[in-house]
A and B are shown apart, each in its own frame.
Chain A
């Protein structure tokens, strides 16, 4: 009952009607209603109103449509969230790049991460558009390797396909190659070879790899024991994405 009030208010009585009072309060309110015809009448009126409203609401209800589980919407939302996680990893790359001492490398990572952030979101299975970079679950990001390969053919060897992630290749403007892991650094190691780069990744990895290749090089990529593929990179900072996720119906 409201402190200092002689009679309970409608809120108190409604709590009594709905069984929301503590036992002691319930006893006090019930005792009051027993001895106060005016409050008893108010309580009855309140109960009547509530019942009439319930009836009116039911009468005015629109029938519910057939329950159709939103499977397609759910798939789109999951895909979008996965892409957003990948973008978060790119943002982390952007943030962590500030810690790198080598200025040109830092500048490249900043630029590359920004470029990746601009890539379209969505699932290639949903949209039919060219595959964007698959998801990266972790938000940790590794440092970069910078080197000058000796050969005219720039080989990128990826040890195996992985749970998710992609190899992003972009054309540089000089003889230097650069590479960085975006995602969980512990999932892969970048090894510099005379003719290119080897990515020693784990099959359960979800990281992605950004590689800027020398301008004059022909780029060949080999994933695991799959047939190697030649990647054509046009001029003007063009970029190609190689999906490293599990094999699909290719």
Chain B
């Protein structure tokens, strides 16, 4: 198994998925690296769908990281002097709209249940329903139901029906 080639091939899509899933791009890069450390040290015994395995591992690690990150944030809220300072954007005006969209999308996604979020975002990455079902441990039919439910929630939260047509 050529780990470096696999890493180069899947890094971009895994980063995008994990950054969306956690809402924390800084955490996402670490998680993607952890996925490949896991692949090297505890490779799947018989895995015909390696891409699915990578996303499944990313989801598991992301959930763990998110939980401990939330614990850390709670601790930091009690000690505000420890909160990291955000970098100033290079062009504040141009970044404003995107930053606002990013914040709204992040909040809306994090309101979904963990499984709903994984199902929705794996669909965005082009996985078939049966692959998503295998990754999150549900039936193929439930995937459609969960995606539709997640879309409904996000449509309300993000005013999707009012956005300009794509």
Using a CB–CB cutoff of 8 Å, the interface residues on chain A facing chain B are: 9-15, 18-20, 45-46, 48-57, 59-62, 64-65, 67, 69-70, 73-74, 77-78, 81
Contacts and interface: CB of A to CB of B under 8 A. Distances in A.
B36 A74 contact: yes
A54 B105 CA distance: 11
A74 B143 contact: no
Pick from A9, A18, A67 the residue with the most CB of B within 10 Å. Answer: A67
A57 B143 contact: no
23 contacts: A10-B148, A10-B151, A11-B145, A11-B147, A12-B144, A14-B144, A14-B148, A18-B128, A46-B151, A48-B161, A49-B155, A52-B163, A53-B124, A53-B155, A56-B101, A60-B98, A65-B15, A67-B8, A67-B11, A69-B7, A73-B37, A78-B41, A81-B41
Contacts, number: 122
B99 to A, nearest CB: 9
B150 to A, nearest CB: 9
B1 interface: no
Nearest to B145: A11
B144 A15 contact: yes
A20 B128 contact: yes
Contacts of A13: 148
A218 to B, nearest CB: 43
The 10 closest A-B pairs by CB, nearest first: A11-B145, A10-B148, A15-B144, A20-B129, A67-B11, A70-B33, A62-B25, A11-B144, A64-B15, A60-B105
B165 interface: yes
Given A61-B16, A62-B102, A50 B151 contact: yes
B77 interface: no
B11 to A, nearest CB: 4
Nearest to A16: B144
A25 to B, nearest CB: 10
A15 B141 contact: yes
A60 B130 CA distance: 28
A46 B148 contact: yes
A15 to B, nearest CB: 4
B25 A49 contact: no
Contact of A20 (B7, B29, B140): B140
A20 B11 CA distance: 27
B154 interface: yes
A73 B154 CA distance: 37
Contacts of A73: 33, 37
Given A10-B152, A11-B148, A73-B37, A57 B163 contact: no
